[in-house]
Amino acid sequence: MRLARLAASGTPLSPSAIFLTLMDRIIIHADMDAFYAAVETLDNPSLRGKPVIVGGDSPRSVVSAASYEARAYGVHSAMPVIQAKKLCPGGIFLPVRMHRYQEISQKIMEIFHRFTPLVEPLSLDEAFLDVTESRRLLGDGRAMAMKIKETVRLATGLTCSVGVASSKLLAKICSDLHKPDGLTVVAPGEERQLLSGLPIGRLWGVGAKTRDKLRLLGVQTVGDLARLPEELLTAAFGAKHGRNLYLMARGEDHRPVVAGREPKSIGGETTFERDLIEVAALKRELLGLSVQVANRLRQKGLAGCTVTLKVKYHDFRLVTRSLTLARPTCDQREIFRAGETLLEKTDAGRVRVRLVGVSVSSLAPASSVQLDLFSGRERARQRGLHLALDAITERFGKNAVTPARLLGKEDGTKGDDGGG
């Protein structure tokens, strides 16, 4: 970074020098247009130009993505599918194919990495890129943004919208200004002017509640917000959130682009088609979720200490109960047992329940012992080999044969193709 170079040159770094250097960054925010719907159209070109709506197929599902043609009917993501069907009866409703979106997402992220190693994905379809150090090789921000759009389009057939600015805050706001297929650059020094006319809801972290509260304070635009003193904002919104609002209104955002973030929690949840009252039924669901979560933990090579149960009652009241285990786990039985215990600390059985979820946090790399135990034993079980394994163990002792050896994993043959 420039800072490092400055420091190495022996130049004393005053706070304002650091500030100016940080202001000099080039941050790109790239965001795919109507991603899930666009992928569906890509895979089935006859959908082009039609109102495509991707969402779950149960009665309580919501819309995950809507093509621009569908948005013209007022359909948007997070809207109940039932409502979308009323607004857009001629719409083409498709189920979510997450694996396919993940596949394409990987391609896109690989392209981003050709421009800089500093790529911070925010979801499957968007990422921040700090391209400050790439500019001598690849040209200025606008040139790189154009190149990114072109490369993504050629490789995937999809369009994205890109924002270029000196901070994450502005880059993200810019990428949204001229969607779809947009390219918006804000020059250093023009940040505040661009911000001042925007409704406060455009700021990252300002949702419905904050908006309502700010409205009571007479704030509609970011310009209005910039007139409020910091003390008032911290008193109303807490130290952190208040300070953030104060800084964002001034276009000040020095958050770095962080590549390679590790997940902090992994969980699963289900909303039932009909509310459940029987504890036994809830436990069946909990068991399924525990298996799901444990599998994903092991896939990622992680284990966690804290198990959290989430219960949403019929009236949308949400409660969580959590407990911390002595050791990290990626074992579905341990996760399930913890969930069962936690379920007793809720009103389950007395009140109708709409949703249960379970998640594991305080994550750390799972030990090889934990992973081997499961990968080997679970696979052996799947292949119906556990009987053989048990028999051999019984006759020759525990260490006579490992599940890995039984599956031929140790002589280089593939052991995880899931076949039988």
Partner DNA sequence: TCTGGGGTCCTAGGACCC
Residues lying near DNA in the complex (CB under 7 A) are found at 56, 59-62, 64, 77-78, 80, 82-83, 86, 122-123, 125-126, 172, 203-211, 238-241, 263-271, 292, 296, 305-306, 316, 318-324, 345, 354-355, 357, 359, 361-362
Nearer to DNA, 114 or 345 (CB): 345
| Closest separation in Å from C-beta 90 to DNA | 17
Q: Catalytic site residue 126? A: yes
Tokens 């979510």 sit on residue: 96
| Closest separation in Å from C-beta 158 to DNA | 14
| Closest separation in Å from C-beta 257 to DNA | 13
Burial of 354 (0-12, 13-18, 19+ CB in 10 A): buried
Nearer to DNA, 22 or 160 (CB): 160
Which tokens is 295 given?
Answer: 């599998």
| Closest separation in Å from C-beta 119 to DNA | 15
Nearer to DNA, 121 or 188 (CB): 121
Nearer to DNA, 136 or 209 (CB): 209
Contact (CB, 8 A) for 78 and 62: yes
Nearer to DNA, 31 or 191 (CB): 31
Nearest to 88, CA basis, from 101, 70, 105, 68: 70
CA distances from 299 to 2, 165, 382 (A): 38, 37, 17
Burial of 247 (0-12, 13-18, 19+ CB in 10 A): middle
Helix (H) or strand (E) holding 175, with range, is: helix 168-175
**Contacts with 289 (C-beta within 8 Å, 6 or more apart), sequence order:** 268, 269, 270, 339, 356, 357, 358
Nearer to DNA, 47 or 293 (CB): 293
User: How many residues belong to the chain?
Assistant: 420
Q: Please state at what angle helix 208-216 crosses helix 230-237, rounded to 10 degrees.
A: 130
Q: Which is catalytic among the residues 120, 126, 285, 334? A: 126
**Contacts with 102 (C-beta within 8 Å, 6 or more apart), sequence order:** 124
| Closest separation in Å from C-beta 377 to DNA | 24
Rounded to the nearest 10°, the torsion over CA 68, 89, 48, 41 is 90
Tokens 């009103």 sit on residue: 347
| Closest separation in Å from C-beta 168 to DNA | 11
| Closest separation in Å from C-beta 202 to DNA | 8
Which tokens is 66 given?
Answer: 């809507």
Strands of the sheet containing 353-365, edge to edge, are 265-276, 353-365, 302-313, 318-329
Helix then strand count (H, E) for the chain reads 19, 12
Nearer to DNA, 289 or 407 (CB): 289
| Closest separation in Å from C-beta 244 to DNA | 8
Contact (CB, 8 A) for 162 and 31: yes
CA distances from 116 to 70, 113, 135 (A): 35, 5, 10
Nearer to DNA, 64 or 370 (CB): 64
Which residues carry out catalysis?
126
